């Protein structure tokens, strides 16, 4: 290597080293993920103590009686959807995003078909905008910081994550079943300002790091010291609004299970092998060793009030595990596809997951539970 080339290499290494030192932890994590083509397996989220005055209609994700060091999800909560919150009209397949000029076809005098973004004033002209609509044409996502600016890379990365979640869920539906979904997310750095909005939009909620309000489709997220936890909370709350927008009223185990499942995975991870976080599975194994792991038929049959009365770690953990197991094998994915389509067709009619499993899952709940228990034991 010549002297000049060596000096240039040394300068580049020094510049790279200085740049690395100046990067924020989130930026360093992002660089590592890009170099290795992987996303960090979610770490154990922080335990947040539950304050007094818990509202029975809004579950606190961390139980007040949680043992020191217990694995528990971040605390996020909301009022769950009722028929009054859901658009019960048939889906109109009307995109949220308007295309400039749309997509049109027309035939010339020789009979040849042409395509363009402007409508031709001929009898043969056809509006093809709906036929060529894509999933994201039905989704609108806005993100703002309550004060100051968003963290570096936050908007681009979170937008990619949330759009991937919408495409994943809406991809299970036919075009004519799609509904327009608008999601407005606010990131708070100031806990006092977050608390004021929480009291306004979710009165009675004692403490939380995230919540959503169906009034305006607002998802509020309190920024955390660890950026990965902020992303988790944001993806969780976003999934709630997407779920209600696409499927209306769904069983609580499915609603929270989907939110917990997608909270773990960003846009890239959704296309790779599923890797459950160890802290999620450990609590279920503890229940199993103690003989306290409930049967799936009993758990999936719980009313919302019964689900909310459970220990929060157990309720959220079981819900996550059922969705994760369904996503992890072909028969489960096929059943979930069928069930989500059923919910989209009748968004204001509560549906029984147990009844649909008996009809459409090979072997019904009993077969699902056997595979689910084996899956837990294998992790």
Q: What is the pLDDT of residue 334?
A: 92
Q: Please, how many CA atoms are within 13 Å of residue 224, restricted to the half-sphere of its CB? A: 22
User: What are the tens digits of pLDDT across the range 318-353?
Assistant: 999 999 999 989 999 999 999 999 999 989 888 889
State the sign of the Cα–Cα–Cα–Cα dihedral 264, 265, 270, 275: negative
pLDDT of residue 1: 53
CATH architecture of 82-96+135-247: 3-Layer(aba) Sandwich (3.40)
Residue ranges covered by each domain of the chain: 82-96+135-247, 251-379
Dihedrals phi, psi of 189, to nearest 5 degrees:
-95, -30
194-219 pLDDT, tens digit each: 999 998 988 877 668 999 998 899 99
CA quadruple 377, 231, 296, 282: dihedral sign:
positive
Task: Quote the CA–CA distance of 253 and 315 in Å, as a whole number.
Answer: 8
Q: What confidence score (pLDDT) does residue 96 get?
A: 53
Q: Which tokens belong to 363?
A: 């072997």
Question: Is residue 201 helix, strand or coil?
Answer: helix
pTM of the shown model = 0.74
**Total residue count of the chain as it appears in this document:** 379
CA dist., res. 338 & res. 329, Å (int): 15
* 128 token code pair: 């093809």
Q: Which portions of the chain are predicted below pLDDT 70? A: 1-8, 11, 15-85, 89-106, 108, 110-121, 123-124, 127-134, 175, 206-207, 267-274
């Amino acid at each position: 290597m010549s002297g000049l080339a060596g000096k240039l290499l040394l300068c580049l290494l020094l510049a790279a080293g200085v740049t690395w030192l100046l990067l924020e932890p989130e930026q360093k994590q992002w660089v590592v993920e890009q170099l290795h083509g992987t996303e960090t397996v979610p770490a154990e989220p922080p335990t947040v103590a539950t304050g007094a005055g818990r509202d029975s209609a809004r579950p606190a994700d961390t139980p007040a009686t949680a043992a020191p060091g217990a694995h528990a999800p971040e605390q996020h909560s909301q009022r769950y959807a009722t028929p009054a919150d859901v658009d019960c009209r048939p889906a109109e397949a009307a995109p949220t995003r308007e295309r400039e000029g749309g997509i049109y076809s027309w035939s010339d005098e020789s009979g040849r078909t042409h395509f363009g973004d402007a409508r031709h004033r001929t009898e043969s002209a056809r509006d093809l905008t709906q036929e060529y609509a894509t999933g994201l044409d039905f989704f609108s996502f806005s993100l703002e910081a309550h004060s100051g600016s968003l963290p570096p890379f936050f908007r681009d990365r979170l937008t990619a994550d949330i759009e991937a979640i919408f495409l994943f869920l809406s991809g299970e539906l036919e075009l004519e079943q799609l509904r327009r979904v608008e999601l407005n997310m606010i990131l708070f750095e100031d806990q006092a300002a977050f608390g004021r909005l929480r009291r306004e939009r979710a009165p009675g909620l004692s403490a939380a790091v995230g919540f959503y309000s169906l009034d305006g489709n607002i998802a509020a997220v309190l920024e955390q010291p660890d950026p990965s936890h902020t992303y988790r909370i944001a993806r969780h709350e976003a999934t709630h609004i997407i779920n209600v927008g696409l499927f209306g009223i769904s069983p609580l185990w499915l609603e929270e299970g989907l939110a917990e499942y997608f909270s773990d995975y960003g846009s890239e991870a959704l296309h790779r092998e599923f890797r459950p976080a160890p802290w999620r599975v450990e609590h279920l194994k503890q229940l199993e060793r103690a003989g306290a792991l409930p049967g799936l038929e009993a758990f999936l049959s719980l009313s919302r009030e019964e689900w909310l009365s459970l220990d929060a770690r157990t309720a959220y953990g079981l819900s996550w595990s059922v969705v994760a197991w369904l996503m992890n094998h072909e028969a489960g994915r096929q059943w979930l596809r069928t069930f989500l389509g059923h919910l989209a067709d009748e968004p204001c009619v509560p549906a029984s997951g147990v009844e649909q499993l008996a009809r459409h899952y090979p072997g019904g709940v009993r077969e699902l539970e056997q595979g689910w228990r084996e899956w837990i034991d294998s992790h």
